[in-house]
A and B are shown apart, each in its own frame.
Chain A
Amino acid sequence: MAYGERFFQPCLKTALALAFVLFSTSLAGCISEAEAIPAFARKYEVNCHVCHTRQPRLNPFGEQFLENGYQMPGTEDGGIVAKLKYGDLTLDQVSNYLGVLFATTGIEHTELKREIEGSGDQTELGSPTILRLFTAGTITNNVGFFVETTTIFGRSSELELGRAFVTLNNLGGMNWGHLRVGRFDPSAYFSMARGRPQFVPIGPKLAPPFGAFSTPTVNRWSLTQSAYASKFYGLFNRSRTAIQPYDSTLFNSPEEVGIDIHGRPFGDWFLYQVGVLNGGNERAGDSNNSKDWYVMTRFDYAQSHDFSANLSGFAYFGNHNAKVSTNADVSRSRYGVGARMRYKWLDIYGAYTIDRVTDLPSGMESTFDSTATGVTVEAHAMVTDRLLLGTRYDHLDAGGLLATRKSATFVGVQAKYYLRSNMAFTVRDDFNVRNVEGGTSAARNLRNRFSVDLSIVF
């Protein structure tokens, strides 16, 4: 069946999409009086676009606000410095420090090659729903903080701690050094920050076997940025749980415990970043005393004509941060470049990374490819004041166990319609560029995924 036929055939899918849009539009009408805006915008009484090209992507002003530890560029923000009594605290003051993200996939339809047990074409409603709470701001001059908790209903009803860190800013002088301590996303200042995608990562569907040195069956391949993926088949973390090749890891982990410093001591054209992490992408801590470390530099170009561009490069040196099935420690490292260009409504960004595994046990070299690469390129453009069109290309040249590894290439297209600046519908389709192959490879069995999503930030 041709791709176009597969896309348009399901009448049920279309009907459900229309129903979801109508329902949500009526919902939006009900809450339109609330004029909900996120916490930083509330605190500084500005609209979202002062910092974002379109949420969640930052514009150059937003990037400098982030770099300065949630303070206006070139300033020191005192935050709430006086101790407030309970009765003096107003709802406005609380809301200036609290934000909420709510996202739900209203309709999701995936087409799979029916050769893996338990998998096949699926249409789902209302899953998953993400609720994220965060509080952030400044405590006093040059001291900032960020804490977030996330609940993904359907996977767990519990709040999970995400990023949580303190920033000490402008050490040694304005923009010389900003220190982060805690759990943070190392790539936050990279040209293509992992955590601010217009194409939200799509989680996998896993089936047994689970357990130590077991590799779960992947019924549905996860759609994440290939440049930031683990890329290797046959690796495990120190809890002996499989590291899936699509998991975001190393410099591009969602959150890692560590300490880093960044700054622009020579002016706005150059940014440095150096950090040390526990490494291994382990949320439960690190029993290994060896640490990973990284260095990143970024060059920014253009200061006028509604144009900006930057180029970044990083090197992440892993140190015994993974295991193979023999329980031997190996070291994973990553080297990457990224770039971003913005001109008026057009925003293009991408990254290319090379991952290497070293310290392999003797005898594995012939069965394990120790080099893998990934590339992700994404672009979006506002075509009206409410409609954002985007596309993303992902290519993962997998490494790891030669017997099981499979490379993957996906293209996504997306239309995002903003009912308000903080509320958007997304219609998205991701399709497998490669020919579908038989066998048990999830990377090749996911043919197409279509979804309608709703996200609200306030």
Chain B
Amino acid sequence: MNIFMKRFGWALLMLGMAQPAFGGSEMTSLNMVEDGRTIYERSCLICHGASGKGDGPAAFYNAAFSASRARDFTVGNYKFRSTVSGSLPVDQDLFRTVTDGIPGSMPSFSGLSIEQRWQVVAYIKTFYSGFQEETPESISLNGSPIPSTAASIQRGKALFEEMDCASCHGKQARGDGSVALAGELKDSRGLLISPNDLTNRTGWKNGTTVRDMVRTLFTGLDGTPMPSYESQLAGHKEDAWHLANYILSLSHHE
């Protein structure tokens, strides 16, 4: 098959997948899962384990004494989502993590083709039956970003103090808040976890754009002490953009 036609056909298939979990024909889904299984066993099993419990032979070394250990796909608890806290991620969330990796913990698998990454996403979802029962939806980020003006940053700084972000991230946002220093922050596995140093974007695990930051504020990072601030920001969602502008202003980025 002509490679262009093959890619075109694949793009059509992806469009179909954008709706419910598996869209398209049942046979196509089964083939995807089976192909995804092959890729998973080559590329993912070493850390996430044959049964997807995050107990692969290499998982322990990456986080022996502190978070974050390889994701347990069997419990349906995902950190990096665009959905409300407690929900499953949408396919695009999983695809984004496979593609970009997680700084510090998981390398990017952009070396896999786009087709292969979607296939492995399809297989990962088979570890948790909830994916067949729920239809997660991404939350709305409430319009376009607010320009990063001095006023916006100033408002964001005030919000940073009001919302007590400093207790974990520290007054200078270097990840050295009093709760963190006391060793009280742990993930769902009971491993010590450090808040992000918000002055250094290279370690940000859920993206570095203003949209990524706002998404993180709304969704939280399930399984970690970072909560969703959706309820606090309800009714004045523009404050999320101000807070994101302030946090981004703390770090230099080209």
Q: Which residues of A contact B (CB under 8 A)?
A: 44-47, 49-50, 52-54, 59-62, 64, 71-78, 174-175, 267-268, 302-308, 342, 344-345, 382, 384-385
Which single member of B51, B57, B66 contacts A306 (CB below 8 Å)? B57
- State the CA gap A299–B163 with chains docked (Å): 55
Q: Does B183 contact A (CB under 8 A)?
A: no
A64 smallest CB distance to B (angstroms): 6
Which single member of B39, B46, B111 contacts A60 (CB below 8 Å)? B46
Known: A61-B46, A74-B112, A304-B50. A385 touches B55 (CB 8 A): no
- State the CA gap A268–B57 with chains docked (Å): 12
- Indicate if the CB atoms of A72 and B43 lie closer than 8 Å: yes
Q: Does B49 contact A (CB under 8 A)?
A: yes
- Indicate if the CB atoms of A50 and B53 lie closer than 8 Å: no
Q: Which residues of B contact A (CB under 8 A)?
A: 39, 41-43, 45-47, 49-51, 53, 55-66, 101, 103-109, 111-112, 202
Which single member of A46, A60, A73, A384 contacts B57 (CB below 8 Å)? A60
A44 smallest CB distance to B (angstroms): 4
- Indicate if the CB atoms of B60 and A304 lie closer than 8 Å: no
- Indicate if the CB atoms of B105 and A50 lie closer than 8 Å: yes
- State the CA gap A427–B47 with chains docked (Å): 32
Which single member of B55, B61, B103, B104 contacts A59 (CB below 8 Å)? B61
- Indicate if the CB atoms of B64 and A345 lie closer than 8 Å: yes
* Chain B residue, CB-CB nearest to A264: B42
Q: A45-B202, A59-B61, A60-B56 are in contact. List 15 more A-B contacts (CB 8 A).
A: A46-B103, A46-B104, A47-B105, A49-B62, A61-B58, A62-B58, A72-B109, A74-B42, A74-B112, A174-B42, A303-B50, A303-B57, A306-B60, A308-B58, A382-B65
Which single member of A52, A75, A268 contacts B41 (CB below 8 Å)? A268
- Indicate if the CB atoms of A304 and B53 lie closer than 8 Å: yes
- Indicate if the CB atoms of B46 and A73 lie closer than 8 Å: yes
Which single member of B39, B49, B53, B107 contacts A46 (CB below 8 Å)? B107
Known: A46-B106, A60-B46, A61-B47. A74 touches B57 (CB 8 A): no
CB-CB under 8 A from A73, the residues of chain B are: 42-43, 46
Q: Which secondary structure dominates chain A's binding surface?
A: loop
- State the CA gap A59–B64 with chains docked (Å): 13
- State the CA gap A429–B141 with chains docked (Å): 61
- Indicate if the CB atoms of A76 and B111 lie closer than 8 Å: yes
Which single member of A45, A75, A344 contacts B109 (CB below 8 Å)? A75
CB-CB under 8 A from B39, the residues of chain A are: 74
* Chain A residue, CB-CB nearest to B49: A304
- Indicate if the CB atoms of B61 and A302 lie closer than 8 Å: no
Which single member of A64, A77, A174 contacts B46 (CB below 8 Å)? A64
B111 smallest CB distance to A (angstroms): 3
- State the CA gap A124–B157 with chains docked (Å): 57
- Indicate if the CB atoms of B60 and A344 lie closer than 8 Å: yes
Q: Which 8 A-B pairs have the closest CB atoms?
A: A75-B111, A74-B42, A308-B57, A74-B43, A61-B58, A385-B65, A304-B49, A303-B50
- State the CA gap A306–B60 with chains docked (Å): 6
CB-CB under 8 A from B57, the residues of chain A are: 59-60, 302-304, 306-308, 342
- State the CA gap A71–B108 with chains docked (Å): 11
* Chain A residue, CB-CB nearest to B51: A304
B65 smallest CB distance to A (angstroms): 4
CB-CB under 8 A from A382, the residues of chain B are: 64-65
* Chain A residue, CB-CB nearest to B106: A46
A50 smallest CB distance to B (angstroms): 5
CB-CB under 8 A from B61, the residues of chain A are: 49-50, 52-54, 59
19 residue pairs bridging A and B, Cβ less than 8 Å apart: A45-B108, A46-B101, A46-B104, A47-B62, A47-B105, A49-B62, A49-B63, A50-B62, A59-B57, A61-B58, A64-B46, A72-B107, A72-B108, A73-B42, A73-B43, A268-B45, A303-B50, A344-B64, A384-B65
* Chain A residue, CB-CB nearest to B59: A306
- Indicate if the CB atoms of A45 and B46 lie closer than 8 Å: no
